[in-house]
Chain A
Amino acid sequence: MFQDAIIPLDQWVSVAVEWLVDNYREFFQMLKWPVDKLLTGFEHGLNTVHPLVVIAVVCFLAWKFSGKRLAIFSLASMLLVGFLGLWEDTMITLAMVLSSVVICALIGIPFGIMSGRSDRFEAGLRPVLDAMQTTPAFVYLVPIVMLFSVGNVAGVLATIIFALPPIIRLTSLGIRQVHPELVEAAQAFGATRWQVLIKVQIPLALPTILAGLNQTIMMALSMVVIAALIGAGGLGSPVILGLNTLDIGRAVVGGLGIVLMAIVLDRITQSMAQKK
């Protein structure tokens, strides 16, 4: 029964994207600029300093927020990654993760706060977040490449789309979990909306916001391999390369690097959230 009346949505989308590319490519290239600056900044920083400095900083953070055990584990993981010949790729991945997380936090925390304070805003935002989390990455990889061309920046942008929802959702949740009597008390003592936010809601939501940041970091890491499909470098590329050439060893080494990084970043950020 559907044969005669198929909606040609696929064609409409193609036309729309082509139209965007033809008319607004300049605009989208402009969007790239801040991402590009941030990313190259991180990349440059991480790759010019001595690896021992990076290792020392990571171990210090691990020790400060968690303890000796995590510091030792971090040291071992970073050394292993280095001796597996993955140091440069790891630093690129770290730079990409850091840039996407910074941008996710910059966008996500304000959006989360708004959504935490307004039911209407949240109702409007929720389907968008659902779509961002469930749309297979492959669907938006092509338009991203068309609009932003291939490379690390496009990889970061694809990562942002995927990794942004958790920080928004958990920020919103954190704001909503603040006991209404505390907000009421602040108002009764003459707090403005801004003071309620700064002095009550954000400090009390902070552990939940940090949990959201942790989730965002993990999601960003899981996009590394997919981002490599559109020419982003880093730990994803040995995996893709190994896959394409059936070089199983290479793929596994790349995968191991991702896993080790994920564990280190996860444990550090998790203990940050708990400490707060």
Chain B
Amino acid sequence: MGQITVENLYKIFGSKPRKGLELLNKGLDKTEVLEKTGMTVGVNNASFTIEDGEIFVIMGLSGSGKSTIVRMLNRLIEPTAGRVLVNGEDITAMSDDELVKFRLHNMSMVFQSFALMPHQTVLDNAAFGLELAGVDKAKRHERAREALEQVGLAGWEDQYPKQLSGGMQQRVGLARGLAVDPEILLMDEAFSALDPLIRTEMQDELINLQEEHQRTIVFISHDLDEALRIGDRIAIMEGGSVVQVGTPDEILQNPANDYVRAFFRGVDPTGVISAGDIVRDSHPTIVLTRGGSLRIAHEILSGSELEYAYVLDSRRHFLGVVSSEGIRNALEAGLPEHPLSQVYLTEAKSVHKDDSMQDILPQVAASTWPIPVVDDDNRYLGVVSKNRFLKTLHKTEVALSDGGDQ
């Protein structure tokens, strides 16, 4: 379990944060508070919930408060006001001892600058959290070895961090975070210091690790591509406030303001929005219970105005597509009791709900029928028609350019 709830969280840097808080509550904004009191508003009334097991990306430009907010999740920075609940437990109310225990077992962190201990070997670095927890040497080395293996660093245990490349150092940082087996992993711009190629590699690595063992990952980034690649959901921060929280395509299709629009401008929406996002259950389905016949299919199709019907089994697994023309031809040929399967459109293939619009574009373009979309178990979810595809493109285009021209 690793659900995090952030409630009305504030951080004001300065000598009298209470005073700044009052001014914010009176409706002044960040710049006005700075002018009046000289104090910086780091985070201004942030509230959101991070679900168990998701990768939640907090994105914003530098100075937007994203690094401050992640440090308030484990109280490396004390919040000025507000609460952080992890699985219902209030982190902000913990005593120092409780906090130490919480950090030891529930939450670990990966840093932008790696922050490895230069005087310790790779193995000892990976075992650092366990060492602090008082795990005996043999056991912590064993677990550190496993963690290093997970990140592909087996054989490097006895080296020192300095002897490793940046990408490898961050793998050690990741192994250090994984070795304590936390429910929650905080990653503060963890890949920002790496070369683009290595960065992509690490992102893939993270996604793989997440598939093996789901954790709640809070990932701070200023890189939109990164956020879109790895984020299940994204929170966008501007000037200390959270301006929008949602899945990548929710934000893309419905940006909250110009700041968000500016972020997403230049992003190709077809790479972000997936078939599952735009699927519609607009076409008739034929459930094939006992063989199913052409005649029944004919009945169903002629009842609707539509040209195509989708054939499923009793558990809604996708079997094939039939067209009214194909059925008519078969009926005219005098085969009314023949199984439906002989008139399936042979070229009609289903696509997976996670396939992006980009991935399914060739099929959408080449087919006269709407493309059926299925989930992991090949269960039918609906279809994506040409019309729907184009409308989505148009809508995001408008959404993104909208306020931008004003």
Contacts and interface: CB of A to CB of B under 8 A. Distances in A.
**Is chain B found bound to chain A in the same assembly?**
yes
Interface of A: 179, 181-182, 184-192, 195, 199-200, 203-204
A185 B132 contact: no
A187 B103 contact: yes
A204 B117 CA distance: 9
Interface of B: 74, 76, 100-105, 107-109, 111, 113, 115-119, 128-129, 131-133, 176, 180, 186
13 contacts: A181-B113, A182-B117, A186-B132, A187-B103, A188-B74, A188-B186, A189-B128, A189-B180, A190-B103, A190-B129, A195-B132, A199-B131, A204-B119
A203 B132 contact: no
Given A182-B115, A185-B111, A203-B119, A190 B133 contact: yes
Nearest to A184: B76
Contacts of B115: 179, 181-182, 184-185
Given A181-B113, A203-B119, A204-B119, A191 B76 contact: no
Contacts of B111: 181, 184-185
Contacts of A203: 119
A10 B141 CA distance: 66
A60 B118 CA distance: 29
Contacts of B118: 204
A184 B176 CA distance: 14
A192 B76 CA distance: 12
Interface centre among A179, A189, A191, A195 (most CB of B within 10 A): A189
B38 to A, nearest CB: 20
B104 A189 contact: yes
Contacts of A184: 76, 111, 115
A181 B67 CA distance: 13
A176 to B, nearest CB: 16
Nearest to A203: B119
Contacts of B133: 190
B279 to A, nearest CB: 41
Given A182-B117, A200-B117, A204-B119, A189 B101 contact: no
A188 B186 CA distance: 10
Contacts of B102: 190
Query: Which 4 A-B pairs have CB atoms at the shortest separation, nearest pair first?
Result: A190-B104, A190-B103, A185-B115, A188-B109
Contacts of B180: 189
B110 to A, nearest CB: 9
A199 B104 CA distance: 15
A188 B73 CA distance: 10
Given A185-B116, A189-B176, A203-B119, 5 more contacts: A184-B115, A188-B103, A188-B109, A190-B105, A199-B131
A248 B307 CA distance: 120
Contact of B103 (A189, A199, A200): A189
A179 B109 CA distance: 17
Contacts of B128: 186, 189
Contact of B100 (A179, A192, A199): A192
Nearest to B96: A192
Nearest to B179: A189
A200 B115 CA distance: 11
A203 B118 CA distance: 10
A174 B284 CA distance: 75
A192 B100 CA distance: 7
A185 B119 contact: no
A178 to B, nearest CB: 10
Nearest to A196: B132
Given A190-B129, A191-B132, A203-B119, A185 B109 contact: yes
A189 B113 contact: no
A191 B109 CA distance: 13
A255 B207 CA distance: 71
Contacts of B117: 182, 199-200, 204
B109 A190 contact: no
Nearest to A185: B115
A186 B131 CA distance: 11
